[in-house]
Amino acid sequence: MAGNRALALGAIEKYKNAPLGHFVNGASLPGEGAAFDVLEPGTGEVLGQACDASEAQLEAAVAAARTAFPQWSATPPEERRKVLNKVADLIVARADEIAAVECLDAGQCWRFMSKAAIRGAENFRFFADRAPAAADGQALPTSDHLNYTTRKAIGPVAVITPWNTPFMLSTWKIAPALAAGCTVVHKPAEWSPYSARLLVEIAHEAGLPAGVFNSVNGLGETTGKRLTEHPGIKAVAFVGESSTGSAIMRQGAATLKRVHFELGGKNPVIVFDDADLEAALDAVVFMIYSLNGQRCTSSSRVLIQRGIYDQFVARIAERVKHLKVGDPFDPATEVGPLIHPRHFAKVASYMDIALGEGATIAAGGAPVDGAKGFFFQPTLFAGAQQSMRIAQEEIFGPVLTAIPFDDEADAIAKANDVEYGLAGYVWSRDVQRVLRVADALDVGMVWVNSENVRHLPTPFGGTKSSGIGRDGGDWSFDFYMETKNVALARGTHKTQRLGV
Ligand code: NAD
């Protein structure tokens, strides 16, 4: 555990002499804009500084992506496959270092990050291997015309990512963009910039040509805003809060940006009284308290059938009290710190909100005593009603709200009664019922008798305020590429004769 922290500190050592700058056109660009602190959530100390990109540096990044686009998009896809698979190999080779950096500046726990780094490599491999078929379309013939469709990379794209699992999420966007033939300007979250720097360096070590993948640091309201307004950027792939998605849509409107949004969630897990309650309990606890509760698909509302409500809440509370909270580098730790004092204050504020609304705190409910970092106790709210803010708003911390329901119709109504629609989880042994409920949930993804297990060819995304568009499999290429139809007239085709 001390070894992994040393590994992380070693990995970022070379960026600590000066505020972390940018990586543009194949080379490191020293920061010249305003510098901001990067904190270590596990200790509360300042780890280093990063720089907001200056306007000139942002221009340089977009210019590099634009200049590199014609050649990269025309590179045979087999070549793109080769270099992106090499990126995957290098990620695997440095997976421990990447995982350690995620523990250091994002405060995520080693037990999850060691797998997340490998998932980053899998994302690259998955889309690399699909590059050769990405342009393939359909044949849609009529008796007069042979129509066929084909796809082309849309152009330079912006990828803007949050801090919760920064490395894995970045690869999830950047790998399909590069496989499609797009060039990329990435802006990672300001609270966790280091693993993005490792990624762009690894990609160049693997042989990615200069300008194809650029990374700029900075704040959302300056660098992020300029990037999304830039006429040289054709599309914005964004993961973050719903309100930021709205801002980006406004910022990109003048230049008619194509947008793909993966936003917030208030995901229900519905537990019926006929469910395998042992398995459901494991999944309920895992899906909200892993990743420090900072997970878009977390099951932050548990809807429990009334007859088993008290008993099931008591069992969750028992587990929550025994969660191992502590040093994110310790492989035994299950819940680490929150990312930043500002986010800590937001999560903490919901304790008074819950009590004020008449809910009870069945476990947790306070900062961790004596901790130096931003540690908040895993918390369970009970006796909650659907109308309460703790049942409606995304808290994005290790905080679960338990709500009773009467029957299937009540469960569906409560599950859908939020502004979000990312994921839903259903636990029941009744096959007919789970099919009905899965159909009725207004969400982009449903897991039945399971926690969130990603299969890369399947679509990922949400409805309502949880997002626009889908990632995964071919859906990713649909976003990063333009579809073209070509109609070839057969000999049978005759045009109406005018002016004869
Ligand atoms: P955020 O929206 O505050 O920031 C995300 C990114 O957007 C950061 O890089 C930030 O600098 C940038 N940004 C902020 N304002 C901007 C602007 N005006 N223009 C351009 N860029 C701007 O989100 P966060 O707090 O970093 O992340 C947490 C949120 O992300 C939660 O709501 C969570 O649900 C969501 N999330 C969603 C998914 C998903 O797949 N649906 C996955 C992970 C996280």
CATH at 226: 3.40.605.10
- Is 264 near ligand 1, meaning CB less than 6 Å away? yes
The reply to whether 89 and 117 lie within a common domain is yes
Average the pLDDT over 88-106 and give the result. 97
pLDDT in tens, 255-314: 999 999 999 999 999 999 999 999 999 999 999 999 999 999 999 999 999 999 999 999
Please indicate whether residue 262 is annotated as part of the active site: yes
Tell whether 158 and 288 lie within a shared domain: no
Rounded percentage of the chain residues whose pLDDT exceeds 70: 100
Looking at the fold, whether 139 and 36 belong to one and the same domain comes out as yes
Nearest CA to ligand 1 atom 12: 220
Residue at a domain's end among 236, 263, 290: 263
- pLDDT given for residue 16 in this prediction: 84
DSSP conformation letters of 207-247: TPPTTSEEE----IIIIIHHHHH-TT--EEEEES-HHHHHH
| Closest listed residue to residue 313, CA positions, set 221, 450, 177, 405 | 405
Q: Work out the mean pLDDT of the chain and round it to a whole number.
A: 97
| Residue 110 contacts residue 330 (beta carbons within 8 Å) | yes
* pLDDT band, very low/low/confident/very high, at 492 (cuts 50, 70, 90): confident
DSSP 389-404: HHHHS---SSEEEEEE
Strands 399-405 and 445-448: unpaired
Q: 3-class SS at 471? A: strand
Q: Is 193 in the pocket of ligand 1 (CB under 6 A)?
A: no
Token couple for 315: 């069992």
Residues 434 and 399 placed together within one structural domain of the fold: yes
pLDDT mean over 328-350 = 98
β-bridge pairing 157-160 and 235-239? parallel
**Is residue 306, in this structure, part of any structural domain at all?**
yes
The predicted model gives 224-231 an average pLDDT of 98
Identify whether the C-beta of residue 184 lies closer than 8 Å to the C-beta of residue 177.
yes
In this structure, the dihedral spanned by the alpha carbons of residues 61, 62, 65 and 68, taken in order and rounded to 10 degrees, is: -100
Find out whether the beta carbon of 239 lies less than 6 Å from any atom of ligand 1.
yes
In a domain? residue 470: no
Confidence of residue 389 (pLDDT cuts 50, 70, 90): very high
Please tell me if the CB atom of residue 324 comes closer than 6 angstroms to any atom of ligand 1.
Answer: no
> Domain boundary residue among 263, 289, 317?
263
362 and 225 in one domain? Answer: no
Measuring CA to CA, how many Å separate 120 from each of 82, 174, 323, 480? 17, 10, 27, 19
The pLDDT, as a whole number, for residue 1 is: 72
Structural domain boundaries, residue 131: 2-263
Catalytic residue among 296, 334, 393, 451: 296
Residue type, 113: M
d(CA 183, CA 194): 21
The predicted pLDDT at position 17 comes to: 84
For ligand 1, atom 9, name the residue with the nearest CA: 189
Cβ(244) to ligand 1 under 6 A? yes
Instruction: Indicate which atom in ligand 1 lies nearest the CA of residue 422.
Output: 41
Asked if residue 345 and residue 252 are part of one domain, the reply reads no
Q: Are residues 79 and 132 in the same domain?
A: yes
In a domain, 498, yes or no: no
CA dihedral 90, 453, 127, 249 (to 10 degrees): -110
Q: Among 409, 431, 448, which residue terminates a domain?
A: 448
Instruction: Give residue 2's pLDDT band: very low, low, confident or very high (50, 70, 90).
Output: confident
Q: Is residue 488 part of a domain?
A: no
Ligand 1: atom nearest CA of 243 is 2
- Asked if residue 121 lies in contact with residue 31, where contact means CB atoms within 8 angstroms, the answer is no
Q: Is residue 404 part of a domain?
A: yes
Q: Determine if ligand 1 sits within 6 Å of the CB of residue 422.
A: yes
Dist. CA 197–CA 21, nearest whole Å: 9
**375 CB near ligand 1 (under 6 Å):** no
Same domain? 243 vs 300: no
Tens of pLDDT, residue by residue over 417-475, are 999 999 999 999 999 999 999 999 999 999 999 999 999 999 999 999 999 999 999 99
- How many whole angstroms separate alpha carbon 372 and alpha carbon 403? 33
In this prediction, residues 35-47 reach a mean pLDDT of: 97
Q: Do residues 272 and 243 both lie within one domain?
A: no
Taking only Cα atoms into account, the Rg of the chain, rounded to an integer number of angstroms, comes to: 24
Return the pLDDT at 373: 97
CATH number at residue 366: 3.40.309.10
pLDDT band of residue 398 (cuts 50, 70, 90) is very high
Q: How many domains does the chain have?
A: 2
Residue of the CA atom closest to atom 40 of ligand 1: 262
Give ∠ CA 358-279-269 in degrees, rounded to 5. 40
Identify whether residues 333 and 221 lie together within a single domain: no
Q: Whose CA is nearest to atom 14 of ligand 1?
A: 220
Residue nearest to atom 38 of ligand 1 (CA): 296
| Ligand 1: residue whose CA is nearest its atom 22 | 220
109 catalytic per annotation: no
The answer to whether residues 318 and 399 belong to one domain is yes
In the set 262, 334, 393, 451, the catalytic residue is: 262
Q: Do residues 12 and 43 share a domain?
A: yes
Residue 29 lies in a domain: yes
Does residue 190 have its Cβ closer than 6 Å to ligand 1? yes
> If pLDDT is split at 50, 70 and 90, which confidence band does 125 have?
very high
